[in-house]
Amino acid sequence: MFRRWLDEGPGLAVFVAFSLGAAALSQGGILPELAAAALVPALVILALVYGLSDLSGAHFNPAVTLAFALRGSFPWAQVPGYLAAQLLGACAGVWLVTACVPLPSAHERVPPWGAFGLEAGCTALLLLVILATAKRKAEVGSQAGLVIAGTLGLCLFTADSLSTIGVNPTRTLAAALFSGTVLASWPHLLGPFAGGTVATGPTYLLRGPLNQQEKETANGQPGDGEEEAEDS
């Protein structure tokens, strides 16, 4: 179990450092806005999924962890440990960014409930894709990382002109803790959890009950039908 936390924490630190760092460089005129908003986060997630998914399931997002738990593919007893590792990793990523450049400022062109809706909708779409690829792991295979990264990039590219969405509440919370904007960030903290929860309903209606492949995906197991030995 400790090995899985070591995967989730540093993995999310890398994602947060690259995505927030790219946004900061974009606001400084160094990176194109498209690259900062969508391309960099998508490429980082692509690398993390391919490199680390066999260790922890490559959640790197509490909304993903919650959706897997609601689906029944991930044990509720392990959720607190994953969430704690993700938060510590995200805070480490924000600290790395602040040590080099100022945190990027938020931009909102929609009211708070609009931002909440964007976060919920984009996260629901992302989780529908993640849960579908988990359900069909044998058929999708190594293409899952490309599909997930592409969906994340599409969501960020589409919504970034309207709101500073992250589709990841831990990334938002860590940045808000450093900038003192926790209360103002509520749409981006609650929206992804709402979207991830909603996504489990259509998944059940369209794809039926849980299967073994979903459990293997959520827990970082090899996918050959054999149960991974529990970490001591």
- Of 225, 217, 21, nearest to 104 by C-alpha is 21
C-beta separation of 119 from 188 below 8 A: yes
* In-domain check, residue 224: no
pLDDT confidence bin for 141, thresholds 50/70/90? confident
Residue 27 CA to residue 49 CA, distance in Å, equals 28
Average of pLDDT values for 131-150? 88
pTM across the whole model: 0.91
Instruction: Dig out the tokens for 155 from the structure.
Output: 């969501």
Average of pLDDT values for 36-62? 93
C-beta separation of 118 from 203 below 8 A: no
pLDDT digits (tens, 9 = 90+) for 52-80: 888 889 999 999 999 999 999 999 999 99
The HSE-up count of residue 80 (CA atoms within 13 Å, CB side) is 1
pLDDT confidence bin for 24, thresholds 50/70/90? very high
* In-domain check, residue 225: no
**Dihedrals phi, psi of 230, to nearest 5 degrees:** -70, 140
pLDDT at residue 229, rounded to an integer = 37
pLDDT confidence bin for 106, thresholds 50/70/90? confident
pLDDT at residue 220, rounded to an integer = 87
Distance between alpha carbon 12 and the CA centroid of its chain, in Å? Answer: 8
pLDDT at 191 over 90: yes
pLDDT confidence bin for 222, thresholds 50/70/90? low
* In-domain check, residue 188: yes
CA angle 112, 117, 122 (to 5 degrees): 130
* In-domain check, residue 170: yes
* In-domain check, residue 230: no
* Domain CATH number, residue 88: 1.20.1080.10
* In-domain check, residue 146: yes
C-beta separation of 7 from 52 below 8 A: yes
* In-domain check, residue 147: yes
pLDDT digits (tens, 9 = 90+) for 124-140: 999 999 999 998 886 77
> What integer best gives the mean pLDDT of the chain?
91
Domain span at residue 86?
2-101+110-219
**Least trusted range by pLDDT, from 29-43, 80-94, 138-152, 216-230:** 216-230
Total of domains in the chain: 1
